[in-house]
Structure 1
Amino acid sequence: MRFVQTLKNIWTIEELRKRLIVTFLLVLVYRLGCYVVLPGIHPDDLDALANFTAGSGLMQLLDMFSGGAFSQASIFALGIMPYITASIVIQLLGMVLPSFQKMQREGESGRQKLNQYTRYLTVFILLLQGSAYLINLQIQVNSAGGHAAMGFWTVAYLTIILAAGSMFIMWLGERITDRGIGNGISFIILVGIIARLPQALYYEFVSRLPGSTGSEGGLVMFIVELILLFAVTVGAVLLVQGTRKVPVQYAKRI
């Protein structure tokens, strides 16, 4: 009852209600874009990419952060990870190069310059990752018996589409930060993970059934995994949100 009452109280606040609606609409646009397949990619050829992604731990991780768009050859296939990579590189440069250290100390103006450099580096990373993604897609489809012939110009314009899709996700994240709730980039990553979680749990449950590949431990191991997942989640929340009140004594002033 307290949870329902909390939701009612949130909805009565006009500013918060508008932010929730804006966040919901922007997330809806993001989730719809995850199902828009790249031009020229036949839907039947996506099974080869999905099977390859399911068999690779790194590809599954990328697919999880992109909300399933990676395994569906979507226009949002590269997701938000190139931007995060660029942000990490810029932060590391700030520890090495004096010019970047100076911009970090300049306050708001320096932060704007660093954000601009981060966007430029993101575009460069997207061009490299987009080409590699399309070449991998072609190899996996052809090895599965499909016919995904991509010439130079096809790879070029599909790479531009992939880069534009990721930049659009960045724009959605910034709009969520400005007009929605919370940090937009983190919120998009959260939505992508939640979107893949039911399917991941279903595959894990099926794999633990007797007779399946990797069914060691059976359903007992599946329950243990759920308990560990819940414990890690609760521990992370308590670690982030936990506070310790320390009494502070001030000298008496006369």
Structure 2
Amino acid sequence: MVDQVLRALQPYFERIPSVSRPVGHVPFNQKLMWTIAVLLLYFVLSNVPVFGLDPSSIDIFQQYRALFAGATGSIIALGIGPIVTASIILQLLVGAGIIKLDLTNPDDRAAYQDFQRFLVFVMIALEALPQILGGFLKPNPVIAEQLGVSLSFIAFLIFIQLFIGGVLIVYMDEVVSKWGIGSGVSLFILAGIAQSIITGLFNWVTPPNAQMPAGIIPRWFWIAQNYGIDALLSADGLAFLMIQGGLLALMTTVAIILLVVYAEGTRVEIPLAHAAVRGARGRFPIKLIYASVLPMIFVRALQANIQIIGMVLYNRGITIFGEYVGSQPISGIMYLISPVRSPYDWVPSLVKSNPYFADLPTWMIGLHLLIDALILIAGGILFAVFWVETSGMDAKTVANQIARSGMQVPGFRRSPQVLERILQRYIPKVTIIGGALIGILTLVANMLGTIGNVSGTGLLLAVSIAYRFYQDLAKEQLTEMHPMIRRVLGEE
């Protein structure tokens, strides 16, 4: 029923403007130019404030800012949230069979993409409106008085600005995906997290109600000036250096970077040979983290949307699901399913140092950690499987791509069905193992903390995106020097 409605509406979805695909090969220099131009535009937009927004407004995405990109109070405050949320909803509908589409069929894949674009625009409105109607993004009464208009009119202007910013993010993502290198979503995440890490290392500003500078390196200078060597070498002093001094976050960040790079380089390689060109050989790599770290974006995006619902309900006086202080849940089921981001979220003594958690039972702190672990690992597996099936990375689609390029596995008959059976031995297993592994790495990074409070999820994303961006650059340069390779890769 749903897929019939979808097909009936497809002619209308096709009319939604989109960035046209390039005809033929786009030179490497041009791709690089488009990528840099969109990145610069992203940074410019992240510094354009929303007109009419009251300073007391609450950023409900603050805890997920590393994942959703964008910037608090800017016109792109929604970031990539609508894109990710729309993708989650559509993957769940297709995966559950509610929408019956064969994504190996070009017509069905086109219908999927058209509906996804429409759904993204719907999600832009649905993520902006609750923040305004729920009282999180407040219109500034001073500006309303100066302009002689009502607060409702200012609230409408805020919605329009957020909607325009969300639409700009969508089309910037399309420009990078079709004309640039990699994807816009990945580029925006990497840019935001890299900025947070640099700020977390070198920020000399001391936050309000704090003694030490925000950046780790300035914090070390402050500690050296205010603490003696004997005090620092004591048990309490070492604990102070590890937690407040940022040493644990620094070591965790370095360790996670090395582990992700190692995991990205771990692969099973299937030998290939060209059926028509003697001596033309290659290998198809199946990486351990086959679905990349994108499943973690979906997991955290799902959590973020649940938290938003909880915040809206609490703001309306419904406290059955939990209470909030700002954007932080402090009780109920919303607290239990909120992400763990640092030792202050799971070490009982550190958790209870927060006045809002002083009377929190220790068993509830442990249950919070256990639930987050289950969400990350189970969610990593589930969304990894969905992503592989819906993004054309499954055994059947890959086998058809290899067969079309003229390649085959030496010693086996040249047939997509044969290739599919060979790939089926590896891809499903690697997808599940990789999804679970990325969930475990995310959990460990979150438990120990990271530089700039980018969260373990954000750090894993940044490292994986940077690694794959480097690989994309190398591939683009290789195909530029050897045009024949583009045919093997199916790009022409």
Q: Does the TM-score normalized on the shorter chain lie above 0.5?
A: yes
Question: 1:28-177 counterparts in 2 under 5 A?
Answer: 28-41=40-53, 46=55, 48-49=56-57, 59-67=61-69, 69-70=71-72, 73-98=73-98, 100-101=99-100, 103-105=101-103, 107-134=105-132, 135-138=135-138, 151-177=151-177
The alpha-carbon deviation at position 35 of structure 1 amounts to 0.8
Note the alpha carbon deviations across 1:84-113, whole angstroms, 9 max, x for none: 011011000002235x23x23462221222
Question: 1:214-233 counterparts in 2 under 5 A?
Answer: 217-221=239-243, 222-233=246-257
- 2:196 is matched with 196
Name the aligned partner's letter for residue 186 of structure 1. S
Higher strand share: 2
Instruction: Tell me, in whole angstroms, the C-alpha distance in 2 between the residues paired with 1:68 and 1:171.
Output: 14
Count of residues paired in the alignment: 216
The alpha-carbon deviation at position 31 of structure 1 amounts to 0.9
- Structure 1, unaligned runs of 5 or more: 1-13
Note the alpha carbon deviations across 1:187-225, whole angstroms, 9 max, x for none: 2221122122222344252678659xxx99334441232
The alpha-carbon deviation at position 124 of structure 1 amounts to 2.3
Q: Is the contact made by 1:126 and 1:163 (CA closer than 8 Å) also made in structure 2?
A: yes
Q: Is the contact made by 1:23 and 1:176 (CA closer than 8 Å) also made in structure 2?
A: yes
Distance 1:129 1:105, change over 3 A: closer
Note the alpha carbon deviations across 1:35-65, whole angstroms, 9 max, x for none: 1111223xxx54x45xx65xxxx74333333
Instruction: Tell me, in whole angstroms, the C-alpha distance in 2 between the residues paired with 1:76 and 1:153.
Output: 20
Distance 1:16 1:218, change over 3 A: farther
Q: Tell me, what secondary structure is at the counterpart of 2:37?
A: helix
Instruction: Tell me, in whole angstroms, the C-alpha distance in 1 between the residues paired with 2:155 and 2:32.
Output: 39
The alpha-carbon deviation at position 241 of structure 1 amounts to 3.1
Note the alpha carbon deviations across 1:56-88, whole angstroms, 9 max, x for none: xx7433333354512xx1110101111101101
- 2:266 is matched with 242
The alpha-carbon deviation at position 245 of structure 1 amounts to 4.7
- 2:347 is matched with none
The alpha-carbon deviation at position 147 of structure 1 amounts to 5.2
Distance 1:68 1:199, change over 3 A: farther
Name the aligned partner's letter for residue 128 of structure 2. G
Q: Which has the larger radius of gyration?
A: 2
Q: State which drifts further: 59-68 or 121-130.
A: 59-68
Q: Is the contact made by 2:46 and 2:75 (CA closer than 8 Å) also made in structure 1?
A: yes
Instruction: Tell me, in whole angstroms, the C-alpha distance in 2 between the residues paired with 1:67 and 1:82.
Output: 11
The alpha-carbon deviation at position 128 of structure 1 amounts to 2.4
Q: Tell me, what secondary structure is at the counterpart of 2:48?
A: coil
Note the alpha carbon deviations across 1:18-38, whole angstroms, 9 max, x for none: 211221011101110111111
Higher helix share: 1
Distance 1:246 1:32, change over 3 A: closer
Note the alpha carbon deviations across 1:207-253, whole angstroms, 9 max, x for none: 78659xxx9933444123212111112212221232245789848xx
Instruction: Tell me, in whole angstroms, the C-alpha distance in 2 between the residues paired with 1:246 and 1:126.
Output: 42
Task: Select which of 26, 34, 37 maps to 1:22.
Answer: 34
Q: Is the contact made by 2:86 and 2:119 (CA closer than 8 Å) also made in structure 1?
A: yes
Instruction: Tell me, in whole angstroms, the C-alpha distance in 1 between the residues paired with 2:164 and 2:215.
Output: 34
Name the aligned partner's letter for residue 102 of structure 2. Q
Distance 1:27 1:157, change over 3 A: same
CA RMSD of aligned residues (A): 3.3
Q: Tell me, what secondary structure is at the counterpart of 1:113?
A: helix
Q: Tell me, what secondary structure is at the counterpart of 2:77?
A: coil
The alpha-carbon deviation at position 184 of structure 1 amounts to 2.3
Tell me the percent identity.
Answer: 24
Q: Is the contact made by 2:69 and 2:80 (CA closer than 8 Å) also made in structure 1?
A: no
Distance 1:207 1:110, change over 3 A: farther
Q: Is the contact made by 1:176 and 1:184 (CA closer than 8 Å) also made in structure 2?
A: yes
- Structure 2, unaligned runs of 5 or more: 1-25, 145-149, 204-213, 227-236, 272-408, 413-492
Instruction: Tell me, in whole angstroms, the C-alpha distance in 2 between the residues paired with 1:68 and 1:198.
Output: 17
Distance 1:165 1:59, change over 3 A: closer
Name the aligned partner's letter for residue 62 of structure 1. Y
Q: Is the contact made by 2:70 and 2:79 (CA closer than 8 Å) also made in structure 1?
A: no
- 2:186 is matched with 186
Q: Tell me, what secondary structure is at the counterpart of 1:24?
A: helix
Distance 1:115 1:244, change over 3 A: closer
